[in-house]
């Protein structure tokens, strides 16, 4: 435990001193960082990708892209499958066995992601770091089972459809006909009542006019 604490103290001292002398004494700063890298390797601690992007593994120079250092990003090349042209065969000739094409061989290889290349401005050596590939895009098809379940449920229960068909809703024409019939019946009742009233009243005879 004490050895690890001593190592951590040395690492922090060399890192802080190298960053303080990066502008005023770049050679001394690179030497301190190279000693830091060597100290890590002596304790079987490999440099991570983050540390390799920050410090040159050859000379110990602190890499600052755009300030005497260069950074180049290369995108992952898409693998395009190349299929052989189809040959027309007569019905009698047997079909030849399928041969592996260049596209199938290329697709079987592991996909690679983008890469970053850092060029040191002091020793002009480069450090290449390969990034992991992006996850493959999964395209999901829409579910068809839910849409097909609706017609199947209606077909399995035909009585419900027949019951709904046996009860037609009253239309506007039928309601208007009913109102016309009721008005006609009311008029006929009024006419018959008027005829009865006139029949009950006594009429004037010739004797009534002679009396006057």
- The string of pLDDT tens digits covering residues 134-187 is 777 777 777 765 555 555 555 555 555 455 545 556 566 777 888 888 888 887
CA proximity to 113, closest of 132, 135, 136: 132
**Model pLDDT for residues 28-67, shown as the tens digit of each residue:** 999 999 999 998 888 888 888 888 989 998 899 999 998 8
Please name the residue that has the structure tokens 């190592």.
7
Give the contacts of 10 (CB within 8 A, at least 6 positions apart). Answer: 39
Task: Return the structure tokens found at 202.
Answer: 């006594």
Cα dist from 44 to 5, 8, 103, whole Å = 16, 14, 42
């Amino acid at each position: 435990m004490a050895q690890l604490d001593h190592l951590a103290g040395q690492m922090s001292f060399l890192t802080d001193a190298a960053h303080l002398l990066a502008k005023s004494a770049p050679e001394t700063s690179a030497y301190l960082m190279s000693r830091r890298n060597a100290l890590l390797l002596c304790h079987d601690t490999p440099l991570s990708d983050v540390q390799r992007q920050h410090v040159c593994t050859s000379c110990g120079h602190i890499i600052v892209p755009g300030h005497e250092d260069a950074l180049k990003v290369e995108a992952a090349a898409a693998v395009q499958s190349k299929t052989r042209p189809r040959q027309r065969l007569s019905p009698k000739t047997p079909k030849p066995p399928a041969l592996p094409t260049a596209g199938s061989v290329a697709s079987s290889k592991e996909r690679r992601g983008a890469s970053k290349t850092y060029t040191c401005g002091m020793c002009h050596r480069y450090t290449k770091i390969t990034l992991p590939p992006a996850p493959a895009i999964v395209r999901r098809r829409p579910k068809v089972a839910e849409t097909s379940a609706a017609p199947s449920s209606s077909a399995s229960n035909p009585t419900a459809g027949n019951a709904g068909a046996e009860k037609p809703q009253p239309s506007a024409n039928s309601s208007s006909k009913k109102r016309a019939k009721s008005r006609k019946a009311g008029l006929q009742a009024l006419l018959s009542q008027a005829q009865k009233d006139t029949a009950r009243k006594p009429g004037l005879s010739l004797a009534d006019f002679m009396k006057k």
